[in-house]
Every structure is written in structure tokens, then in C-alpha cells.
Amino acid sequence: MSAGAFNPFQMAQSQFDRIADVLKLDAGTRELLRWPLREYHFLIPVRMDDGSHKVFRGFRCQHNDARGPCKGGIRFHPHETIDTVRALAMWMTWKCSTVDIPLGGGKGGVICDPHHLSAFEQQGICRGWVRQIARNVGPVQDVPAPDVMTNPQHMLWMLDEWEAIHGEKGPGFITGKPVGMGGSLGRTEATGYGVGYVVREALKILGIAPDKALAAIQGFGNVSQYAVKILNSFGTKVVCVSCWNQKDQTSYTFAKKDGIDVDALLSITDHFGSIDTEKAKAMGVQVLPGDKWIDQEVDILIPAALENQVTGENVQRISKRVKLIAEGANGPTTPEADSVLHERGVFCIPDVLANAGGVTCSYFEQVQCNTNYFWPKDEVLSKLDAKMTSAFKAVHDLSKKKNLYMRDACYQISVDRVARACRDRGWV
């Protein structure tokens, strides 16, 4: 699969097919699980600031809800495709199953670029998205959340529109809301902290002291920022991050041998995660081409940006020093790269486990909203740590017992749980 021909849904299906063979799934179950149960395509007409009307394309995929309501984010991205949404919905099914929460997989998206849209125009897209799908989403059907280039404000606009349409309050309809408006304390940190918790457990297995380890992270969005913070709290030094610079439409890597000061970088970062390169240089940070994060002499690599980032073309550039890869992003490693990493003995924490902290805390938010009782932050993060650690140990125990690559162990657990739920319901 070349970079130019990359199709994330084909990759997700191939990952599933391999495990379906191992689990000896029957033909009906295979067909049911390798496609979304339902998907929606719709148009969103929006009145723009200049008085004109522009029509945006929106999507929602509901991959499988045998274990509970669908759950998954909504992306705003100029290059969004239905195949990306399908893949992410499938991965979300496995993710919820891996950490054993009673939800299925969903995903949504809109083809747009928020960088070039006013707040009023973005609100129009949010409300229009909900109007087109309002009968098919809700607290007991399908619960959206933020994803790439969406945030708590977007979620609140969507909630408000859903409530206006249905004539009732339903804070459990959507997660990732602002704290004080039904959002959960700890949700902002959850995905990045979840990555940190499973990295901590993997370092124990590898016999590497956290305060002796170096890490490199691709990305500087929400996941990366909080992954840096939690790793720093363990004593691990993060020597580089990378991000897309909106100003000159170029990707950069920001490196510092004695460790990245995340708070200093955040002070020169805009709300889309773009770091000011000149100010970074003035702080003594080395500014390198965007792909240089993968070349770093570190113990831990964390791809935390987009899918298709560690490929057959660049996997050989990964240093022999790297012992651990934790996938903060969804689908960052292609099957070709995965086979190389497996042969090299690199310990990989797959995306459906590594970045499951976000959906786990979204589940906590949904529970709190539905019961109208909210927990303190320490309790949320303690529950998150316990859930992530338990899931990691279950996957690792199976990998040791059956001598499996971590990704294969993870998929065997998650796919088997969903397949059994489908059989128990009498669907297959």
C-alpha cells in the first residue's frame, strides 16, 4: 500500500480480516463486522458572513452497536473522506471493546477548514450537522464527541441544536462539552494521560526506568500536549514534538536535547496547535523539517497526529534505540511498517488501546450526565488510570500467553467481545 494510494478503511478491514482468520469467525459475522451497520451522507447549507450560501458535505458512520450505543468524534477537515470516517468508526468499536466499556463505534465528519471560517460560520455547520442527523443520534443511540479541529464549543452548539429539535434536555447526547455545561473534569487531559498510563506500564515490562527514558512525539494538539505533561511527571524527557504551521502551510519538528518545555511552547501556540517558529528559535528550540520526529535517538516514539504516518517508506528511519511505540493517533502505522516493527521486536501499544483514554473519559462524562451527578477531577483520573491499566494488563497477558504481537492480542480480545455480543443478540 503506497502512501499515495492509502485508504484507511482498507487498512482497517485488512487488520480485521487477519484476526477474523485467527478467531475462525463464520462468514456472516465477518461480513457484519467488516462494514458499518449504518452510514449517513448529507449536505449542510450554511449562510456565510458575506451573505452568500455555501454547502458542506457531512458524514456519520455507525459501525456496530451490539455492545451499546455508538460513540465517536466529529472531525472538521478539508480532506475528510467517507473511507476515513468508516475506518475511524470501526477502530472505535474495537477501542470501546478493548477497554470493556458498554459502547460501540461511530464517527462523523464535515469537509471544511475551520482555519478559514468565522465562529458564526462554524456554528452554522455544527447546527446544520445536527439538523441532518438528529433522528439518528442521541444518548441511547449514538453519542458524538470532539475530534480533529473540533472542540467543546462546537459540542455545546450541537447539544443546543439537538435539545431545541427534541424539546428536551439531553446532556448525555454529546461529550467533550465545557465543564459547567455538562462536561467532565479530566476530559481535556484524558487521551494524552491515557497514553502516558500505558507507556508507564510498558516501561515496567521493558525494564526501562521512566526517568531514564527519552521520547519523541509527532503532533502538538491536545493528545500530545497532555502526553508530554504526564510523561514529564513520571520523569521521562520529551525531546521533540511536531506540528503543522498554518501561517506558511508547512510542518515542523521542534527539538530540544534537554527536553521540551511544554508550557513555554503552549505560550507561543495558537488555538489550532500551530507553534510560532521564530519565537521557538528565540527560546533555544531547534526547528527542523516536520518529518524529523521519526529520526530521533529516543526510547519511545509516540505518533499522535493523523493516520498513515509510520509507513513502509519511512519505518527504516526509526532508530535502533527505539524500544516502544505508543499510538496516540488513530491508524498511524501501516501494515507494511507494522511487520517491520514486529520483526525488530519493538513493543507497540496499538491505537485502539493507547489512545482509548479519550473515549473512556467520554463514557465517564456520559454516565455523569445521565445520572446528573459529577465527580471530582481526582476521581475521574483515578478511574481512568485503573481502566487503562486493567486493559493494558489484559492485552499484555494474552500476548505473553499466546506469544502474540500486542496489536494482534488487542484485536483478538476486542473483536471476540463484539462478535460474541452479535451472536448473543441473535444477529448472526
Q: Are 65 and 204 contained in the same domain?
A: no
Q: How far apart are CA 287 and CA 292, in angstroms?
A: 10
Residue 422 lies in a domain: no
**For residue 410, what is the enclosing H or E element?**
helix 406-424
Q: Are 148 and 94 contained in the same domain?
A: yes
Q: How far apart are CA 420 and CA 78, in angstroms?
A: 38
Per-residue buried b or exposed e for 393-405, using 16+ beta carbons within 10 Å of the residue's own CB: ebbbebbeeeebb
Q: What DSSP letter does each residue of 162-223 carry, written as one string?
A: HHHHHTS--GGG--SPPBTTTBPTTHHHHHHHHHHHHHHHHHHHHT--GGG-EEEEE--SHH
Residue 414 lies in a domain: no
User: Do 257 and 245 contact (CB within 8 A), yes or no?
Assistant: no
The per-residue pLDDT for 6 is 81
Q: Which three cell numbers stand for residue 344?
A: 525488530
Residue 303 lies in a domain: yes
Q: Are 167 and 201 contained in the same domain?
A: no
Residue 292 lies in a domain: yes
Q: Is the pTM of this model over 0.75?
A: yes
Q: Are 161 and 194 contained in the same domain?
A: no
Q: Are 162 and 200 contained in the same domain?
A: no
Q: Are 165 and 197 contained in the same domain?
A: no
List the catalytic residues: 107
The residue out of 318, 349, 380 marking a domain boundary is 349
User: Do 348 and 318 contact (CB within 8 A), yes or no?
Assistant: no
Q: Are 131 and 227 contained in the same domain?
A: no
For 259, left (φ over 0), alpha (ψ -120 to 50), or beta?
left
Q: Are 203 and 337 contained in the same domain?
A: yes
The residue out of 320, 349, 378 marking a domain boundary is 349
Strand duo 104-111 + 70-77: pairing: parallel
Q: How far apart are CA 73 and CA 88, in angstroms?
A: 9
Q: Are 286 and 153 contained in the same domain?
A: no
Q: What DSSP letter does each residue of 306-362 carry, written as one string?
A: -SS-B-TTTGGGS-TT--EEE--SSS-B-HHHHHHHHHHT-EEE-HHHHTTHHHHHH
Q: Are 89 and 197 contained in the same domain?
A: no
The per-residue pLDDT for 4 is 54
Number of structural domains, the chain? Answer: 2
Closest CA to 426 of 16, 17, 62, 29: 29
The residue out of 349, 380, 401 marking a domain boundary is 349
Q: Are 196 and 314 contained in the same domain?
A: yes
Q: Which amino acid type is present at position 205?
A: I
Q: Are 207 and 299 contained in the same domain?
A: yes
Burial of 35 (0-12, 13-18, 19+ CB in 10 A): middle
Mean per-residue pLDDT pooled into runs of 10, the chain (428 residues): 70 94 97 98 98 98 98 95 96 97 98 95 98 96 94 97 97 96 95 98 97 96 94 97 84 94 92 85 94 96 92 95 96 93 96 96 96 96 98 97 95 98 98
CATH, residue 280: 3.40.50.720
Strand partners, 238: 215
Domain span holding position 115: 37-171
Residue 202 lies in a domain: yes
User: Do 308 and 6 contact (CB within 8 A), yes or no?
Assistant: yes
